[in-house]
């Protein structure tokens, strides 16, 4: 009896572990913002339906194999008194055929809906809204292309209409900050902008599966949302020190509201600042901001086209809710000030340099940014 006790406590340990795993599995919750198992659009739904087929089969295989293992471990356990080497087997044609044919059949069965879904999602849908997505270090840029897009460029927030596919053409570019902008640099010559990107992965779990965004390639996918709302996204490929905070949001509107949003975004920036905000506006042009950030409607607006520009387009900055890769709240003056004071200390790996601004300058710039509705 004594010899049996450690074995029994081992079994109890395994049983407790199994119960804990089952309980933890209960933590999955459709209300969580990034639950891939609660699809909220047709693309995610098709992928989820595929999971509904494959998962039970995988569970069946797992249970069958584990039960077989337990049976064999029990039946052929050491009896204590038999020291001889067990009977040796060399080949069993019937068994080998079985464990080749059955898995091949299972894979063939799974291949049918998988292939069908891959092809169904590979085509560009009709009447899709066209958006160019650029993965930068470490934030996402969105450019609405074609005539419909009116040249609108945003960052961190991808606004889409509900009930309509949105076709994404995705690239990875990492333009580097010009030397002349960094205080203390003598040279006023711009570095040739390096566009070598790193691999990111665009993932909005409730709207679609992941798509890698790879330097030197244009990858495509489409997403669609059933209902208006905010859908949290996250870069899902380790891309450097700022990877964990390379977040974004997809904001879905009713089609009418989306049209309104797009029209407002296409307008040039608000130009009627006064007081502190007017001081901020002047600073924006003189302190170096304009070298990397565009503000539509300004002659001096710098940094080139979307994609090769280093920083986000700030034309309607105050109409967005999040900045710096979704890390901070646009309406929070304290967070904006902390960012301008020392970007590196609040978001590691950010390209935005510390411009050595005084507290008065920071206050003015915050007032200016918050006036850009
Ligand atoms: Cu971009 Cu991880």
CA of 210 to the centre of ligand 1 (A): 12
Ligand 1 atom nearest to CA at 238: 2
User: What's the confidence (pLDDT) of residue 4?
Assistant: 46
**Nearest residue by C-alpha to atom 1 in ligand 1:** 200
Angle between helix 359-371 and 275-286 (nearest 10): 100
Residues 6+ apart with CB under 8 A from 284: 290, 295, 365, 368
Ligand 1 atom nearest to CA at 213: 1
CA of 308 to the centre of ligand 1 (A): 18
Distance (Å, whole) CA 293 – CA 284: 9
Does ligand 1 come within 6 angstroms of the Cβ of 213? no
Ligand 1 atom nearest to CA at 198: 1
Does ligand 1 come within 6 angstroms of the Cβ of 138? yes
Does ligand 1 come within 6 angstroms of the Cβ of 246? yes
Q: What is the mean pLDDT of each run of 10 residues along the chain (373 residues)?
A: 61 90 76 87 95 94 96 86 77 92 95 94 91 93 93 93 96 76 48 68 96 92 96 94 93 96 91 89 87 78 72 90 84 88 88 89 92 90
Does ligand 1 come within 6 angstroms of the Cβ of 368? no
User: What's the confidence (pLDDT) of residue 289?
Assistant: 87
Which residue shows structure tokens 């076709």?
A: 167
Query: Coil, strand or helix: which one is 233?
Result: strand
Q: Environment class of residue 125 by beta-carbon count within 10 Å: exposed (0-12), middle (13-18) or buried (19+)? A: middle
CA of 312 to the centre of ligand 1 (A): 16
User: What's the confidence (pLDDT) of residue 294?
Assistant: 86
CA of 326 to the centre of ligand 1 (A): 13
CA of 116 to the centre of ligand 1 (A): 30
CA of 174 to the centre of ligand 1 (A): 12
CA of 309 to the centre of ligand 1 (A): 18
Does ligand 1 come within 6 angstroms of the Cβ of 200? yes
Question: What sign results for the dihedral spanned by CA atoms 97, 103, 104, 106?
Answer: positive
- Identify the DSSP state of 331: T
Ligand 1 atom nearest to CA at 199: 1
CA of 352 to the centre of ligand 1 (A): 17
Ligand 1 atom nearest to CA at 200: 1
Ligand 1 atom nearest to CA at 137: 1
CA of 143 to the centre of ligand 1 (A): 19
CA of 247 to the centre of ligand 1 (A): 9
Distance (Å, whole) CA 231 – CA 220: 20
CA of 163 to the centre of ligand 1 (A): 28
DSSP 142-186: EEE-HHHHTT-EEESEEEEETTS-EEEEEEE--PPPPGGGSTT--
226-239 core/surface letters (b: 16 or more CB in 10 A; e: else): bebeebbbbbbbeb
User: What's the confidence (pLDDT) of residue 160?
Assistant: 97
Does ligand 1 come within 6 angstroms of the Cβ of 248? no
The dihedrals phi and psi of 95, each to the nearest 5 degrees, come to -65, -45
Does ligand 1 come within 6 angstroms of the Cβ of 243? yes
Does ligand 1 come within 6 angstroms of the Cβ of 181? no
User: What's the confidence (pLDDT) of residue 6?
Assistant: 60
Ligand 1 atom nearest to CA at 240: 2
């Amino acid at each position: 009896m004594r010899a049996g006790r450690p074995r029994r406590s081992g079994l109890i340990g395994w049983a407790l572990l199994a119960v804990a795993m089952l309980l933890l599995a209960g933590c999955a919750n459709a209300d969580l913002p990034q639950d891939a198992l609660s699809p909220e659009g047709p693309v995610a739904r098709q992928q989820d339906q595929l999971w509904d087929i494959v998962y039970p089969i995988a569970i069946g295989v797992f249970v069958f194999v584990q039960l077989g293992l337990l049976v064999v471990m029990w039946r052929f356990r050491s009896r204590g008194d038999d020291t001889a080497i067990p009977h040796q087997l060399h080949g069993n044609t019937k068994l080998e055929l079985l464990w080749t044919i059955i898995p091949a059949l299972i894979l063939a069965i799974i291949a049918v809906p998988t292939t069908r879904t891959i092809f169904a999602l590979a085509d560009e849908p009709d009447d899709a809204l066209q958006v160019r997505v650029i993965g930068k270090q470490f934030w996402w840029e969105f450019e609405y292309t074609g005539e419909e897009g009116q040249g609108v460029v945003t960052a961190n927030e991808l606004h889409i209409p509900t009930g309509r596919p949105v076709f994404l053409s995705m690239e990875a570019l990492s333009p580097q900050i010009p030397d002349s902008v960094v205080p203390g640099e003598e040279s006023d010559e711009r570095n040739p902008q390096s566009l070598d990107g790193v691999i990111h992965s665009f993932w909005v779990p409730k709207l679609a599966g992941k798509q890698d965004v790879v330097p030197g390639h244009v990858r495509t996918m489409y997403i669609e949302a059933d209902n208006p709302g905010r859908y949290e996204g996250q870069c899902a490929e380790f891309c450097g020190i700022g990877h964990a905070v390379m977040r974004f949001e997809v904001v879905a509107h009713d089609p009418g509201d989306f049209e309104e949003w797009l029209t407002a975004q296409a307008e040039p920036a608000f130009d009627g600042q006064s007081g502190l905000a007017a001081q901020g506006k002047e600073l924006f042009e003189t302190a170096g901001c304009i070298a990397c950030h565009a503000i539509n409607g300004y002659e001096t607006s710098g940094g080139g086209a979307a994609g090769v520009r280093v920083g986000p387009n700030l034309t309607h900055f105050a109409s967005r809710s999040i900045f710096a890769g979704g890390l901070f709240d646009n309406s929070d003056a304290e967070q904006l000030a902390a960012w301008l004071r020392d970007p590196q200390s609040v978001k590691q790996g950010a390209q935005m340099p510390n411009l050595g601004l005084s507290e008065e300058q920071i206050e003015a710039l915050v007032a200016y940014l918050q006036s850009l509705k």
